[in-house]
Amino acid sequence: MNNRLKTLSNGIIDVSPLMIPVVPFGIIYGVIGMELGLSAYMTFGMSIIIFGGASQIVLLQLFSGGASSLVAITSVTAVNSRHLLYGAVFSEYLSHLRLTWKIILSYVLIDQAFAVSNIYFKKNKENEFKHYHLLGAGFTCWTIWQISTILGIVLGSVVPEELGLSFTISLTFLALLINDFRKFKNVIVMLVSGIVATIGYNAIPFQAYIIVAALSALLVATIITLIDQKKK
């Protein structure tokens, strides 16, 4: 098989298991968008324009709390600031590519695609078509996310509100942290963030509690990192 096609299909195959939780996540997003009274176009448009599950749900939650645009935009950017790390890690593998490739690949550089392509890149540094792996993984995520958003939009008009599906927002984010529950330092950072947000929810104006809580927790994370480095 052509090396490009082979790498592309490797990307698709590698990322597929990670799509299992993405489907219900996308459905939840679509359902909640409809429950909060957004139009179907807007709910779907967010999936195309932003293409980031966590930040889209944050945007919905802030929207329902009456946050201003500025707070919404800042919070979404804060949630997505982790992508800076992905880009920084991948720049080593992608910096030689043409601008067009960088523009396309950046659009699909999300958590799941980063996770599998990072493993592949480390093992296949010699493959000159290795970026096809990210292309395959990324656009698989994209396709699955759009389809499950549409499913959620359709279901959202029939799912009764009594089921309390908005609770799945908390559950989904909680589930995304399961790998960090075992790390004591991460748990400290989580508690700082959660406690500041809960106390600040009413005390901090303009629904800026997510930003304030995240910055406080990152400050603690920075202190932990600095202490760790001194020990070494």
Q: State the distance between the two ends of the chain, measured CA to CA, in whole angstroms.
A: 48
- Cβ proximity of 152 and 26 under 8 Å: yes
Query: Toward other proteins, which CB reaches closer, 12 or 76?
Result: 76
- Among positions 91, 119, 143, 227, the unique one binding other proteins when judged by CB under 8 A: 91
CA–chain centroid gap for 39, Å, is: 22
- Among positions 10, 140, 148, 168, the unique one binding other proteins when judged by CB under 8 A: 168
Query: Toward other proteins, which CB reaches closer, 3 or 39?
Result: 39
Residues within window 170-209 making contact with other proteins, judged by CB under 8 A: 170-182, 185-187, 189-198, 201-202, 209
Assigned token pair, 16: 């597929």
Query: Toward other proteins, which CB reaches closer, 24 or 127?
Result: 24
Calpha distance 36→60 (Å, rounded) = 8
- Give min distance, CB of 3 to other proteins, in A: 22
Calpha distance 109→87 (Å, rounded) = 8
Q: DSSP code of 186?
A: H
Provide the mask over 50-69, with x wherever binding to other proteins is found by CB under 8 A and - wherever it is not.
xxx-xx-xxx-x-x-----x
Q: How many CB atoms lie within 10 A of CB 134?
A: 28
Provide the mask over 95-134, with x wherever binding to other proteins is found by CB under 8 A and - wherever it is not.
x---x--xx-xxx-x-------------------------
Calpha distance 160→55 (Å, rounded) = 25
Residues within window 8-27 making contact with other proteins, judged by CB under 8 A: 20-21, 24
Tally of CA atoms within 13 A in the half-sphere of 74 that contains its CB: 15
- Give min distance, CB of 1 to other proteins, in A: 28
- Give min distance, CB of 170 to other proteins, in A: 5
Assigned token pair, 190: 């989580």
